[in-house]
């Protein structure tokens, strides 16, 4: 499985193609938010609106035939940007048998081949990503994505320490939205930036505006080159905005500035692309995402609990 190509023939990021991919990710989550509000998508939902540039920029510099990605509790954008079938993702959120995990994992426990897994445990995929990276073939890497709240967990430091000590081919990517659930960064740490942990563990590190898809792609590519050559891990801090509250339905709604879709659209307009054409693309993507949700709800079979035992236990031949 490969991610949608958003690069030019020369290997540079195609900004218009990147916008198209970011628009589809945003529209998918907008449809999901609507489905949650009307009760058709039950359960706890954490949306990644505001992080689309990180997902698309990262995937544009990976070889997803060999590289692998581990996500967090806001995983939808990572899976979609990596080329995972949107219908299978939507079916999983809707608890349908045709979902990625046959409707049993839900939003925080998606699994696929290129993006191996998401988790509801803060920082929970970091040590798994390090272990996976130890078994990667030469030249292939693992990308471990986490939020800034995970930096205050012991598992973050254990993972960086072992990766640095053993020169593991993993790129740690922090989506820093400035919030750990309901606490601002200033309320839970005195460390100014996640990028500073690069110096602490002696690994290359960089920070970038996570709303700038081209900057994310460039910074990730630069850090990944020595990782692929066996130099050990690296750390990328992407500053993003959390455009939705911590979870859908949270009454403590949080709004932030820094929409990556607005940023890429402004850059495209400055290059001569018509704003009307970009708006039409957005509307078309929203319509398509709503139609996808309606189709999944109407046509895909619900997960049947009678099959649950077969997914947990296996009968040994006598």
Whole-angstrom distance, CA of residue 287 vs CA of residue 281: 10
Q: Which residues contact 224 (CB under 8 A, 6 or more apart)?
A: 61, 62, 141, 171, 234
Mean pLDDT of 37-65: 91
The C-alpha R_g of the chain, in whole angstroms, comes to 19
How many residues does this entry show for the chain? 318
Contact 216, 223 (CB under 8 A): no
Domains in the chain, ordered, with CATH?
A: 16-300 (3.40.50.970)
Task: State residue 182 phi and psi, 5-degree precision.
Answer: -110, 5
6 has a pLDDT exceeding 80: no
Strands 234-239 and 142-147: unpaired
* pTM for this predicted structure: 0.90
CA distance 194 to 180: 13
Tens of pLDDT, residue by residue over 157-189, are: 999 999 999 999 999 999 998 655 555 556 566
The residues with which 111 forms a beta bridge, in sequence order, are 117
pLDDT tens, 259-275? Answer: 999 999 999 999 999 99
């Amino acid at each position: 499985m490969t991610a949608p190509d958003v690069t030019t023939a020369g290997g540079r990021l195609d900004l218009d193609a990147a916008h198209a991919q970011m628009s589809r990710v945003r529209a998918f989550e907008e449809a999901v938010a609507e489905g949650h509000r009307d009760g058709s998508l039950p359960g706890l939902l954490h949306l990644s609106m505001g992080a689309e540039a990180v997902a698309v920029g990262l995937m544009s510099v990976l070889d997803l035939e060999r590289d692998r990605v581990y996500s967090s509790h806001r995983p939808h954008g990572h899976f979609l940007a990596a080329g995972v079938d949107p219908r299978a993702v939507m079916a999983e959120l809707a608890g349908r048998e045709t979902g990625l995990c046959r409707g049993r994992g839900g939003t925080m426990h998606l699994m696929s081949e290129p993006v191996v897994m998401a988790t509801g445990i803060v920082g929970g995929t970091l040590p798994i990503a390090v272990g996976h990276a130890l078994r990667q073939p030469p030249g292939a890497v693992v990308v471990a994505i986490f939020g800034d709240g995970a930096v205050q967990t012991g598992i973050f430091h254990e993972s960086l320490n072992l990766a640095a000590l053993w020169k593991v081919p993993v790129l740690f990517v922090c989506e820093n939205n400035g919030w750990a659930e309901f606490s601002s960064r200033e309320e839970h740490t005195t460390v100014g930036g996640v990028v500073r942990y690069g110096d602490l563990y002696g690994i290359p590190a960089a920070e970038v505006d996570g709303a700038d898809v081209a900057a994310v792609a460039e910074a990730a590519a630069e850090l990944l080159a020595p990782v692929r050559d066996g130099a050990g891990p690296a750390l990328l801090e992407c500053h993003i905005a959390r455009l939705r509250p911590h979870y859908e339905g949270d009454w403590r709604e949080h709004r932030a500035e820094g929409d990556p879709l607005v940023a890429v659209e402004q850059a495209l307009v400055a290059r001569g692309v018509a704003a009307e054409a970009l708006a039409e693309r957005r509307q078309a993507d929203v319509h398509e995402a709503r139609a996808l949700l309606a189709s999944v709800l109407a046509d895909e079979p619900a997960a049947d609990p009678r099959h649950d035992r077969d997914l947990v236990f296996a009968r040994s031949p006598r």
